[in-house]
Structure 1
Amino acid sequence: MSGMSRRRVLTAGAAAGALAPLAACSAGTGLRSSAAEPVDGTGTAQVRPGRLIGDGSTADTGAQPHQPAPARLPAGRRPPQFVVFSWDGAGELSSRLFSRFRKVAADHGAGMTFFLSGIYTLPASRKHLYRPPLHPVGASDIGYLADRHIHATLQQVRAAWLEGHEIGTHFNGHFCGASGVRNWSPADWRSEIEQAVDFVTKWRTNTGFTDLAPLPFDYGKELTGGRTPCLEGRANLLPTAAALGWKYDASSPGGLQVWPGKVQGGRIWDFPLQSIPFAGHSFQVLSTDHSMMSHQSGGSPLGDRARHDAWRVQARDTYLAGFRRAYDGNRAPLFIGNHFERWNGGIYMDAVEEAIGRMAAYEDVRFVSFKQLVAWLEAQDPAVLRKLRTLPPGRSPAGGWAEFLGAAGSRSS
Structure 2
Amino acid sequence: MKSAVFRPALSKATRAVSVTIAVTAALAAGLSVLAGTGAQASERPEQLVLISFDGAHDNRLWRRSLEMADRSGARFTYFLSCTFLMSKDERKAYKAPGHSAGRSNVGFAQDTADVLTRLGHIWSAYQSGHEIGNHGCGHFDGKSWSKADWMSEFNQFDAALENAWAGNGAEPPAGWTRFARTGIKGFRAPYLSTGEGLYAAMRAHGLSYDASAVSNGPVPPELEGPVARFALPLIPEGPRQRPIIGMDYNLFVRHSAGIETPSKSEEFEARALDAFRSAFDAEYTGERRPLQLGFHFVEMNGGAYWNALERFANEVCGQPEVACVTYQEAMRRLKPADGSAS
> Residue 347 of structure 1: CA displacement?
1.2
- Structure 1 equivalent of residue 108 of structure 2: 144
> Residue 279 of structure 1: CA displacement?
3.5
SS of corresponding position for 2:303: helix
Q: Which amino acid aligns with 1:364?
A: E
1:219 maps to which of 169, 180, 184: 180
Q: Which amino acid aligns with 1:362?
A: Q
> Residue 361 of structure 1: CA displacement?
4.7
d(CA) in 1 for partners of 2:302 and 2:73? 27
Report the TM-score, using the length of structure 1 for normalisation: 0.69
Unpaired segments of 5 or more residues in structure 1? 1-73, 390-408
Query: For the pair shown, which has the larger CA radius of gyration, 1 or 2?
Result: 2
d(CA) in 2 for partners of 1:376 and 1:231? 25
Q: Which amino acid aligns with 1:116?
A: L
> Residue 75 of structure 1: CA displacement?
11
d(CA) in 2 for partners of 1:321 and 1:173? 35
Q: Which amino acid aligns with 1:221?
A: T
Contact 1:287 1:335 in 2 (8 A): yes
Unpaired segments of 5 or more residues in structure 2? 1-39
> Residue 204 of structure 1: CA displacement?
2.8
The count of aligned residue pairs is: 302
d(CA) in 2 for partners of 1:362 and 1:376? 18
> Residue 139 of structure 1: CA displacement?
0.5
Contact 1:124 1:146 in 2 (8 A): yes
SS of corresponding position for 1:182: coil
Identity, % of aligned positions: 29
- Structure 1 equivalent of residue 322 of structure 2: 365
d(CA) in 2 for partners of 1:192 and 1:88? 17
Q: Which amino acid aligns with 2:243?
A: Q
Q: Which amino acid aligns with 2:227?
A: I
Q: Does 1:313 align with 2:273?
A: no
- Structure 2 equivalent of residue 251 of structure 1: 212
d(CA) in 1 for partners of 2:314 and 2:166? 41
- Summarize the Cα distance change of 1:133–1:357 in structure 2 as closer, same or farther, 3 Å threshold: same
1:66-105 superposed matches below 5 A: 77-93=43-59, 96-105=60-69
SS of corresponding position for 2:231: coil
- Structure 2 equivalent of residue 232 of structure 1: 193
SS of corresponding position for 1:342: coil
> Residue 318 of structure 1: CA displacement?
1.0
Q: Does 1:293 align with 2:259?
A: no
| Deviation readout 1:301-357 (Å, 9 max, x if unpaired) | x12x33211111111111111111111111000111101112111111111101111
Contact 1:89 1:117 in 2 (8 A): yes
1:196 maps to which of 148, 157, 160: 157
- Summarize the Cα distance change of 1:242–1:75 in structure 2 as closer, same or farther, 3 Å threshold: farther
> Residue 107 of structure 1: CA displacement?
1.6
1:281 maps to which of 211, 221, 240: 240
- Summarize the Cα distance change of 1:258–1:204 in structure 2 as closer, same or farther, 3 Å threshold: closer
- Structure 2 equivalent of residue 402 of structure 1: none
Q: Does 1:155 align with 2:114?
A: no
d(CA) in 2 for partners of 1:255 and 1:98? 30
Question: Which range moved further: 163-172 or 214-223?
Answer: 214-223
Q: Which amino acid aligns with 2:291?
A: L
**Structure of greater relative contact order (alpha carbons < 8 Å, 6+ residues apart):** 1
Question: Which range moved further: 319-328 or 158-167?
Answer: 319-328
